[in-house]
Structure 1
Amino acid sequence: MTLTCQDILDTDLSTLSTAAKSWKSMGERFGELKTDYDTHIRKTLGNGTWQGRSAEASRTHSTATAHEFTAAKAEARAVSALLSAGHKQLSRLKEALSTTLSDARAKGYHVDTQTGRVRVDWNAKPWTDLSPEELRAVKNDPGAVAAAEADWTSTVRKRVQAVCDADADLRTALVNVTVDDDGKGSAHGFNGGASGDISVNTAERAVQLADKGADMTATELNGLDDLLARHAKDPTFAETFAKRVGAQGTVDFWHGMAPYAAERGSPRARLLARVREHLGETLGTATRSDSPAMRRWEREMTDLGPERQGGHYAPRGYQVMADLLRHGDYDDRFLHTYGDSLVRFERDAAADGRSPADLWTAHRGTDAYSVEQLDNPWGNDPLADLMRGMSRNPGASTAFFTDPATFDYVVGNPGETGQGTVRDWPDVALPYGGTERAAGHDELGRALEAAVTGAPPGDPSSGLHRGPDEIKVMHRVMETYGGPYSPREAQPGISDSLGRMGAAYVDDLNYGLEDYGGAAEQIGSGRITGTDGHGIDPAVAAGFMRELGRDEESYRIMSAAEEGFVASRIHQFAGTDDVYRAAEIGAKGHGALDEARAEQIGADFRDDAAQRNAKLEEAANWKKNVASVAVYTVGGVAGAVAPEGSILIPATIGGGGAASVSAINEAINNALASDTYDNSGQSIHTLDQFDQRALENATEAIRNHASQGSLDENDFKEKLGRISYEYSAGRRIVDTENSQ
């Protein structure tokens, strides 16, 4: 039964309180009966005067009866506690609903208490108090009126749903608390282990359903999913569920549900996808408990990793659990420990000549390495799933990648011979046939993003966090991908992550380029960039910038970050001579990126001049878009506002604060979201034309700034010449040989 607003308003919840008191009294009475029974019955039976089989049977029965009195007391008190808790929760939620209805009416809205729908009541006082002109203005904006009605309706219905959910949980708890699960006394007696906690009882109901496994009906599976969905963030529910099911039980349950055996797109497949999400979220919450029972659960789950969960071609424990790591906020320590265990298992297998593909994808055929059709329907790479989990848990990701051996194996460090300890990320075996490229590269990139920024990818609201460990991992990223044996090209899909990592350290990269010759500190580069470079080696900075520039996607992202960062510096130092030093430093960074991109385009299209020119034009004109949206003037920020962005840059803006930092990222991400390029009626036919256009774009912010001031033409020409020189210097730093 679905409750309406009116049902809730009409309900007298005081009966719950009265019933709670009655159940408490009943519990006390059961205790008194237990005392009487022990005194007058069991004492008499145990005085030794009655002997024989009948006496033995009577004494055995009396023990069971005595337990049932104790259990009845426990159950009655638990019911009392549940009713009392339910009364408090439902009363609070009912009051919240009543307040919302009152607020809506006070604002001039009518609420249909049967449907929860809210509509403007033009006869209400807030509207009749308006002048005719004011009322006409309101009515002439029907979109705003409809939006307000929809907002109020949504709020009212959420309040109603909260009551319905609490009512359902109380019902589940009251049913569960009477189930005799103590294993003592009569088989269907009172529940001596009854709990008065609603969360514990709803979790136990979820356990009862999970115990049925694949025998659950669709209705029961939906019921389990509903419980998990509504309580995944409840620590008591989550821990109770995880402990009662156990580590092996968790693996057995999810393996037994055969999520990849369901027909693709079928209702069952969609339902199992929801269960995966909510079960993962529930387990994630459970691992955040420090209780001995959960620490034991984590150890046992880790120990199950290498074990086949069935026959020779069944998935290993790592694969089953990793499938659930795709969702949820898991404890950092558990993820780190689990990840270390998985990597050790893979590396030990590699020493025996078995690749990740051998471990995670079983095959039909006469031997374990047959290349015939895949026979393991799971076929998932557990390390890729682990990376997805770590991307949502930056602390775990940072700790995981700080280990040099782990970094070299997972990320890749081929070394001079190209035969270093590099993981061969396997293609994903699709449960519906065929394979796809190693999606793990995408997940690896996002996990690295989390590790070096301290924030989940795509969630800039959490802010940029760069502690010693994050910086340490970023330096390894720069050294690896900016070195002579970069694995970037062998990891399709990672380029966007590399661009975002570079964006998060754009200040250090700019400082590194300034520090060629070791002069950055003496010439005050740290004051302008806002960093001391965190010990970055200039050659490493140049190599990483070169690698970012070579790839189209990372070039787009890093160019935008460079523009935004430099613009923030210009805003910071507006009105001082340092504003032009900021422009010089930024120009050098732009020059490094542009040179690398031009060289790569030249190499990629050496024999196709038309394609080469088109790519050069695209790169130059895209940077034009970036320069135009992130322009800072003496007065502040100018630029389009974008939806929530996906990259973070470090920006210390005097007087601007968080609002200015937000505006930078909005402008950057607005440019990144653009799929069009403004050609401005110009075509690029030579590398020199690209150089000129790129230089114009790189200096647009400072030229716009200068136009707001009183600098005379000759002075600005001199300063612009210096900025242009630094742009060329940046290009020379990363220059290898233009491939034209």
Structure 2
Amino acid sequence: MSGRGAIAFEEVLHLQLGKLEEAIGEWDTQVQRLESMKENAAGMARRTRSASWAGANADVTIPFVTEQADQFDAAHKQARTLRELCRDGHGRLKHAKDRLTNLVEIEAPELGVHVSATGQVTSDLEGLDAETRRARQDAVVEVSGRITDILRTVAEDDAEIAQALRAAMGTDPDRFTAVEYTSVQQATLAREDADALMERMARGEELPDDELHDIALLLELHADDPAFAERIATGLGPQGVLDFWTDVSRSRDQPPGSSEWESAAALQTSLGQVLGTATQSDSAAMDAWERDMTALGDERVGGPDGPYGFQTMSALMHRGDYDTDFLLEYGDALLTFEREDDRSPAQLWDSDPSLRLNFVESAFPGGEALEGDWGRDPVVGFMQGLGHNPEASTQFFAPPDDYAPTDTFERPPNRFDPADDNEQVNAHLDYLATDREWWLSNDHHGGPDPLNVHPAFGDALFAAATGREAGGFDGDDLDGFLATGDRRTADTAAVMSQVMHLYGSREPNLLAGQPEMAADLAAMTGLYMDDINYAMSGQTEGARAENGQVFGSAYEDRLDNGFFNTARFLNVLGQEETGHGVLTQAQELYTAGVLAGIEPTGQEAYDGGVDAIRTSAEVRGLLDQSLVARIEHDFGEQSKEAERALAQSSGWAKAGGGALVGAGLGGLALVTGGTAAAAVAVPIAAGATPPLIGEFMNQSIDDFSRHEADDTEVRMSRMEFYSAGETATTQLKETFDETIEESLPAGSTIDDSAADLHGAYRLGRDLISITHGPSTPGN
């Protein structure tokens, strides 16, 4: 399998396939070994993410082990591909040898033809009549042609096998490549498709709609093939990619919903996915491609009136999983370029109001698609790219590490200390959340439409703070949403800590101007309910430390913004109907999980459960009071409009189909007021029994159901609203007592007093007056 061109007759006739058979057997053994090693590495990665690492060890060990696990997975795929290619190559070569042997030893003699050891075909024509002579001469020509055909096929097969093996080996000598081919034909087809696609893509704007559709289908077919993707990316080159997409997008003049629009959207999606796959390669060619693409960001594409490179490339980032290092370097360059320009973002990027670069939709969580986003804002596409790559997003929003440790306290690098008045949040986060003027590029030639914030920013923050890809819930598969597990780390917690500080303490009025962010912030908070409850369980570190067992940490660190900083954040988020609805449900599910995980070993275990319920009552009281204050500020205290709003909010979000519990996570599918459902993942205590969690959840649902907007006569006073919230925690307590009472050892005392929970709920309500002082919600 040299791929060297012409192959001699005797080489095929006497082809020795024993070594290739041995290689297949060895690769088969290697595949089996790597299968076990891959599973062990994946398990080690899971344990590493959940271990209690600290300091530099956390920053080095976790990424290293995760990377090695990924490499074992890639090695397994590569070994399996090499085995299949060798197996297929063996079959092809054996078939050719068998054809030649059969022709030489059986068919040729039957035709009166002799084939020499070197492949020369002759026939003895002496003494033959004219007809027989002509038949023998025809047979010589036929056998010679068949030999030539076999040798040509072997040469082609040999070249294809060699090329397929080279593709499977990848371009980086120091890393395994996750190429998956099941046959030589598949590898050859991918290469041929890539070459054919590049020829067609060179025509750019000349491509008709049906050809665009075909190109999109071929790109989608090979989108996960690293060899194909790198061939496309490096074949086109950075400038070629920018020229192609700019030309194509400029030539699409049909309205949304048309076949031409849909073809462009499919092409944008598949090309973005292919380029994302290509950037996963660490080859020298792709490293150069990424550097050159970033360098082209501040240059115009197609002339002085064309879009910036950042705009075209970012449009393709709406879809695809781009490499972490590429995203970080590209994002730094993009935001530096934008911030150093004297113009506003809209003025900088919206110079051509007829330019359309984006054909795919983006949407606020659980809401309507954001219509008319023509993709001229490159920060939006880049944010989408971060949302698909949690690792990159977490690093992009990591706390600055240029701090000076004190003599008494030294925290690890990239950790955020909200108690330090001099602590600065990540510059990218600060700019995008508080300073940037967000806008929507659209087809209204009167100018860009201002936005409070773009949903892509929420997606990127969600990925950064949770370690989970944004948009992982399709509205139906809650099991699949939870299957990725709890992916929090000390680094994701550092991002979440900054977000809480920024929106809760430093800029308490920020969310009121960005209500669209409430759903993402609430979903992020839901995944940190264990740390939220720990922080709210005591006003001092000593008091909280006593509850460490009750509110255990499921990852290698703990988010601890302190009691008052956490309360401020909950107050701000609770003022939004979306935030209140998500967090009350998440709080309920989390507490149910804690209670379902308590073993009835004695009084201490029971008291731990009561502490969890008491903290839950306090959190619910704070959230309820925050929403009441906001609604009464908007509509007037105790007004009919306020009472209608409270009634509507009381059942705003119910678990769609009930809560679902997976490995270490519970989930809720929530109706968020839009056309789509949202999902919230909540940490569940180890050992918690799912059926028992469901029992707690079902028993604690209050009698108030969601009211539609036209139910204008349905009202609820503030006291009725408070009563509903307090009842929810009271019912949790009653269910807990009934469940655990018979299993407790003799001498254990069941506290059936509701006064303690009433006091906790009232304390939570009173916290609003001390979180931000006398400031009025919404001001």
2:744 corresponds to 1:722: no
Name the counterpart of 1:427.
Answer: 440
Note if contact 2:625-2:768 (Cα within 8 Å) is conserved in structure 1.
Answer: yes
Alpha-carbon distance between aligned partners in 2 of 1:392 and 1:423, rounded to the nearest angstrom: 22
Q: Normalised by the size of structure 2, how large is the TM-score? A: 0.62
Alpha-carbon distance between aligned partners in 2 of 1:548 and 1:384, rounded to the nearest angstrom: 24
CA distance 1:543–1:413, change in 2 (3 Å):
farther
5 Å matches for 1:241-252?
Answer: 241-252=232-243
Which residue of 381, 384, 391 corresponds with 1:385?
A: 381
2:340 corresponds to 1:348: yes
Note if contact 2:353-2:443 (Cα within 8 Å) is conserved in structure 1.
Answer: no
Note if contact 1:210-1:253 (Cα within 8 Å) is conserved in structure 2.
Answer: yes
Name the counterpart of 2:144.
Answer: none
The structural deviation recorded for 1:488 is 1.5
The structural deviation recorded for 1:526 is 1.4
Secondary structure of 1:646's match? Answer: strand
Which residue of 541, 553, 559 corresponds with 1:534?
A: 559
2:724 corresponds to 1:693: yes
Secondary structure of 1:526's match? Answer: coil
Which residue of 282, 299, 307 corresponds with 1:315?
A: 307
Name the counterpart of 2:685.
Answer: 652
Alignment RMSD (CA, Å): 4.6
The structural deviation recorded for 1:382 is 0.8
The structural deviation recorded for 1:462 is 1.5
Alpha-carbon distance between aligned partners in 1 of 2:225 and 2:755, rounded to the nearest angstrom: 62
Greater per-residue helix proportion: 1
Alpha-carbon distance between aligned partners in 2 of 1:281 and 1:615, rounded to the nearest angstrom: 44
Which residue of 186, 203, 210 corresponds with 1:212?
A: 203
Name the counterpart of 1:156.
Answer: none
2:305 corresponds to 1:301: no
2:590 corresponds to 1:565: yes
The structural deviation recorded for 1:458 is 3.8
The structural deviation recorded for 1:722 is 1.5
Secondary structure of 2:548's match? Answer: helix
CA distance 1:377–1:277, change in 2 (3 Å):
closer
Q: Which amino acid aligns with 1:703?
A: E
CA distance 1:665–1:442, change in 2 (3 Å):
farther
5 Å matches for 1:539-558?
Answer: 539-558=564-583
The structural deviation recorded for 1:216 is 2.6
Secondary structure of 1:690's match? Answer: helix
Structure 2: state its 5+ residue gaps: 1-88, 102-148, 166-180, 355-371, 402-423, 473-480
Alpha-carbon distance between aligned partners in 1 of 2:669 and 2:736, rounded to the nearest angstrom: 17
Secondary structure of 1:649's match? Answer: strand
Which residue of 497, 500, 522 corresponds with 2:520?
A: 497
Alpha-carbon distance between aligned partners in 1 of 2:458 and 2:345, rounded to the nearest angstrom: 19
Which residue of 390, 393, 410 corresponds with 1:394?
A: 390
Secondary structure of 1:527's match? Answer: coil
2:492 corresponds to 1:470: yes
Alpha-carbon distance between aligned partners in 2 of 1:23 and 1:215, rounded to the nearest angstrom: 47
Structure 1: state its 5+ residue gaps: 1-12, 26-71, 89-164, 174-195, 366-375, 415-419
Q: Which amino acid aligns with 1:549?
A: G
Alpha-carbon distance between aligned partners in 2 of 1:400 and 1:655, rounded to the nearest angstrom: 35
2:287 corresponds to 1:254: no
The structural deviation recorded for 1:707 is 3.6
Deviations 1:561-596 (A, max 9, x none): 100001111112263412212111211111111111
Alpha-carbon distance between aligned partners in 2 of 1:679 and 1:457, rounded to the nearest angstrom: 33
5 Å matches for 1:405-484?
Answer: 410-412=428-430, 422-430=435-443, 435-438=448-451, 441-459=454-472, 460=481, 461-484=483-506
Q: Which amino acid aligns with 1:355?
A: S
Note if contact 1:653-1:660 (Cα within 8 Å) is conserved in structure 2.
Answer: no
Deviations 1:177-225 (A, max 9, x none): xxxxxxxxxxxxxxxxxxx844323211111111122223444333322
Note if contact 2:493-2:558 (Cα within 8 Å) is conserved in structure 1.
Answer: no
Alpha-carbon distance between aligned partners in 2 of 1:571 and 1:548, rounded to the nearest angstrom: 27
CA distance 1:700–1:469, change in 2 (3 Å):
same
2:541 corresponds to 1:518: yes
Alpha-carbon distance between aligned partners in 2 of 1:380 and 1:317, rounded to the nearest angstrom: 11
The structural deviation recorded for 1:408 is 5.2
Which residue of 604, 624, 647 corresponds with 1:594?
A: 624
Alpha-carbon distance between aligned partners in 2 of 1:481 and 1:724, rounded to the nearest angstrom: 29
The structural deviation recorded for 1:357 is 0.8
Note if contact 1:613-1:685 (Cα within 8 Å) is conserved in structure 2.
Answer: yes
Alpha-carbon distance between aligned partners in 2 of 1:678 and 1:269, rounded to the nearest angstrom: 35
5 Å matches for 1:1-150?
Answer: 79-81=156-158
CA distance 1:275–1:640, change in 2 (3 Å):
closer
CA distance 1:656–1:287, change in 2 (3 Å):
same
Note if contact 2:531-2:558 (Cα within 8 Å) is conserved in structure 1.
Answer: yes
The structural deviation recorded for 1:340 is 1.0
Q: Which amino acid aligns with 2:633?
A: A
Tell me the matched-pair count.
551
CA distance 1:202–1:640, change in 2 (3 Å):
closer
CA distance 1:582–1:166, change in 2 (3 Å):
closer
- Structure 1 residues 639-648 or 244-253, which shifts more? 639-648
Alpha-carbon distance between aligned partners in 1 of 2:741 and 2:617, rounded to the nearest angstrom: 22
The structural deviation recorded for 1:266 is 2.6
Name the counterpart of 1:132.
Answer: none
- Structure 1 residues 567-576 or 75-84, which shifts more? 75-84
CA distance 1:259–1:540, change in 2 (3 Å):
farther
Alpha-carbon distance between aligned partners in 1 of 2:550 and 2:630, rounded to the nearest angstrom: 31
Alpha-carbon distance between aligned partners in 2 of 1:231 and 1:282, rounded to the nearest angstrom: 8
The structural deviation recorded for 1:545 is 0.6
Note if contact 2:648-2:707 (Cα within 8 Å) is conserved in structure 1.
Answer: no
CA distance 1:329–1:537, change in 2 (3 Å):
same
Deviations 1:111-167 (A, max 9, x none): xxxxxxxxxxxxxxxxxxxxxxxxxxxxxxxxxxxxxxxxxxxxxxxxxxxxxx999
* Identity between Structure 1 and Structure 2 (%): 28
Which residue of 248, 266, 270 corresponds with 1:274?
A: 266
Alpha-carbon distance between aligned partners in 1 of 2:594 and 2:253, rounded to the nearest angstrom: 55
The structural deviation recorded for 1:717 is 6.3
5 Å matches for 1:144-183?
Answer: 170=185
2:391 corresponds to 1:360: no
Alpha-carbon distance between aligned partners in 1 of 2:379 and 2:590, rounded to the nearest angstrom: 35
CA distance 1:709–1:466, change in 2 (3 Å):
closer
The structural deviation recorded for 1:475 is 0.5
Note if contact 1:402-1:473 (Cα within 8 Å) is conserved in structure 2.
Answer: yes
Q: Which amino acid aligns with 1:447?
A: A
Note if contact 1:17-1:83 (Cα within 8 Å) is conserved in structure 2.
Answer: no
Note if contact 1:428-1:438 (Cα within 8 Å) is conserved in structure 2.
Answer: no
CA distance 1:395–1:738, change in 2 (3 Å):
closer
CA distance 1:605–1:79, change in 2 (3 Å):
same
Note if contact 1:16-1:84 (Cα within 8 Å) is conserved in structure 2.
Answer: no
Note if contact 2:632-2:638 (Cα within 8 Å) is conserved in structure 1.
Answer: no
Deviations 1:372-396 (A, max 9, x none): xxxx995521111111111111001
Alpha-carbon distance between aligned partners in 1 of 2:297 and 2:151, rounded to the nearest angstrom: 40
User: Does 1 or 2 have the higher relative contact order (CA < 8 Å, sep 6+)?
Assistant: 2
Alpha-carbon distance between aligned partners in 1 of 2:698 and 2:158, rounded to the nearest angstrom: 55
Alpha-carbon distance between aligned partners in 2 of 1:653 and 1:620, rounded to the nearest angstrom: 31
Note if contact 2:669-2:679 (Cα within 8 Å) is conserved in structure 1.
Answer: no
Alpha-carbon distance between aligned partners in 1 of 2:670 and 2:438, rounded to the nearest angstrom: 39
Deviations 1:651-679 (A, max 9, x none): 1232538x989x799999x99xx965899
The structural deviation recorded for 1:645 is 6.4
